[in-house]
Amino acid sequence: MSDRGGLTAVALGGGHGLYATLTALRLLTDDVTAVVTVADDGGSSGRLRRELGVLPPGDLRMALAALAAADDGGVRWREVFQHRFQGNGALAGHAVGNLVLAGLLEVLRDPVPVLDEACRLLGVRGRVLPMAAEALDIEAEVSGLDNDAHSLHRIRGQVAVASTPGRVHRVRLLPERPRPCHEAVAAVRGADLVVLGPGSWFTSVIPHLLVPELASALVGTAARTVVVLNLAPQPGETADFSPQQHLHVLAGHAPDGFTVDAVLADIDAVTAPQGLHRSAAELGGRAYLDRVASGPASDHHDPGALAAALRRIMDPAPDDPAPDPPRRADAGERGPGAAPAPRVGEEEHRWP
């Protein structure tokens, strides 16, 4: 697969995780569709959702910003969309893009033409779509909220689930059968590459598997499906989760027949590679270990490195389908600002 060589890619998620994936994919192709969660109930998005009854715009705005044109006009509009009002007034904390999207939603009603119009404004060559045509709520079963570690409590709301001090066992959407975004379903069915994750696992990644029509499209698509794992557990949602546990809960929420082709993880985030390989195989795929973090101990993916890893998954070298990740230089070879030397045992972490 050559750069920008006709690849049709779809990325599912929300927030900063989806932003990283979209920024990586646009290095590979202009044909990128973002399918975005619509369950946020906090901050500016939550306020607009409650006051105006519109889809929460924040994650949609982030996806638009990630795909905005790189020319002067696109860069300027991206900066404007991402700008938040300061001060103590009614606008404090609102992002400009959230207000623009909320206004368009009040005028046009249908989120698909709203987002298509926003794409034109920002010079987006791909597309941004909601995962459902209505705002959703997330409800979770959580343990550890009282002295009985085994008792389960239900908590509701994206912010409450993401920040819970308990352990999340399962999530569901309200309504359970939301109105689908048919364009998002069609995009998944027609893609060459579908990327799920990284991001807030229970509130941004797993919800896509809970929209029935979208889940059916993920089962039936001929696309190569890749799960990108987070670089570290998230406090609250996935505290102390191993990479394997992320896959186990994903599989536990997935519909019958759901499989993946590849699981991509950063080499430094995996302490038990063989366990990850087994968990990926249980989902029908292979685990790929590479260097995709923006730096040592970072919790942000590097878009260029992520794009390169996805390229290798989509188009492995004929005689070397599973190359070892490049080793970091030894102490005497590292220059100023270079990454630290590999950890003991790191040579065991490799592409399968």
How do the pLDDT tens digits run along the chain, 352 residues long? 434 558 999 999 999 999 999 999 999 999 999 999 999 999 999 999 999 999 999 999 999 999 999 888 888 899 999 999 998 888 888 999 999 999 999 999 899 999 999 999 999 989 999 999 999 999 999 998 887 777 899 999 999 999 998 899 999 999 999 999 999 999 999 999 999 999 999 999 999 999 999 999 999 999 999 999 999 988 878 988 999 999 999 999 999 999 999 999 999 999 999 999 999 999 999 999 999 998 877 888 999 999 999 999 998 765 544 443 443 333 333 333 333 333 323 333 344 3
Same-domain status, 47 and 125: yes
Task: Give the number of other Cβ atoms within 10 Å of residue 27's Cβ.
Answer: 15
Same domain assignment for residues 257 and 145: no
Residue 315, beta-bridge partner list: none
Domain closes at, from 120, 155, 174: 174
Q: What is the pLDDT of residue 317?
A: 63
Tokens of 26: 């646009």
191 and 50 within one domain: no
121: containing domain: 41-129
| pLDDT at 151 (0 to 100) | 87
Query: 44 with 84: CB under 8 angstroms?
Result: yes
Question: Please, what is the angle between helix 303-314 and helix 15-25, to 10°?
Answer: 60
Cα–Cα distance, 314 to 189 (Å, whole number): 17
Tell whether 184 and 243 lie within a shared domain: yes
Report the CATH number that the domain containing residue 343 is assigned in CATH. 3.40.50.10680
Cα–Cα dist 278/194, whole Å: 22
Q: How far apart are CA 180 and CA 184, in angstroms?
A: 8
For 110, list phi and psi in degrees, rounded to 5: -75, 120
Give the pLDDT score at 321. 46
- Indicate the residue among 129, 163, 194 that finishes a domain: 129
Query: CA nearest 180: which of 222, 150, 147, 208?
Result: 208
SS3 readout for the chain: CCCCCCCEEEEEECHHHHHHHHHHHCCCCCEEEEEECCCCCCHHHHHHHHHHCCCCCHHHHHHHHHHCCCCHHHHHHHHHHHCECCCCCCCCCCEHHHHHHHHHHHHHCCHHHHHHHHHHHHCCCCEEEECECCCCEEEEEEECCCCCCCCEEEEECHHHHHCCCCEEEEEEEECCCCCECHHHHHHHHCCCEEEECCCCHHHHHHHHHHCHHHHHHHHHCCCEEEEECCCCCCCCCCCCCCHHHHHHHHHHHCCCCCCCCEEEEEHHHCCCHHHHHHHHHHCCCEEEEECCECCCCCCCECHHHHHHHHHHHHCCECCECCCCCCCCCCHHHCCCCCCCCCCCCHHHCCCC
Residue 236's pLDDT is what?
A: 79
d(CA 31, CA 194): 12
- Same structural domain, 244 and 320: yes
Q: Which of 174, 203, 234 is the last residue of a domain?
A: 174
Q: Residues of 103-134 as b/e, b for ≥16 C-beta within 10 angstroms? A: ebbeeeeebbebbbebbebbbbebbbbbbbbe
344 and 210 together in one domain: yes
The per-residue pLDDT for 5 is: 55
Pair 229, 194 in one domain: yes
Q: Give yes or no: residues 204 and 309 share one domain.
A: yes
Contacts of 62 (CB under 8 A, 6+ apart): 14, 15, 16, 18, 19
Judge if 340 and 192 occupy the same domain: yes
Give the tokens for residue 170. 């399962």
Measure the CA dihedral 79/85/91/93, to 10°.
100
Q: What are phi and psi of 71, to 5 degrees?
A: -80, 180
The pLDDT value recorded for residue 234 is: 85
**What does the pLDDT read at residue 322?**
47
Residue 318 is predicted with a pLDDT of 58
Contact (Cβ atoms closer than 8 angstroms) between residue 194 and residue 188:
yes
Q: Which pLDDT does position 162 carry in this prediction?
A: 92
Do 277 and 344 fall within a single domain?
A: yes
Residues 345 and 212 in one domain: yes
**Total number of domains constituting the chain:** 3
Does residue 295 share a domain with residue 152?
A: no
Phi, psi of 28 (to 5 degrees): -100, -30
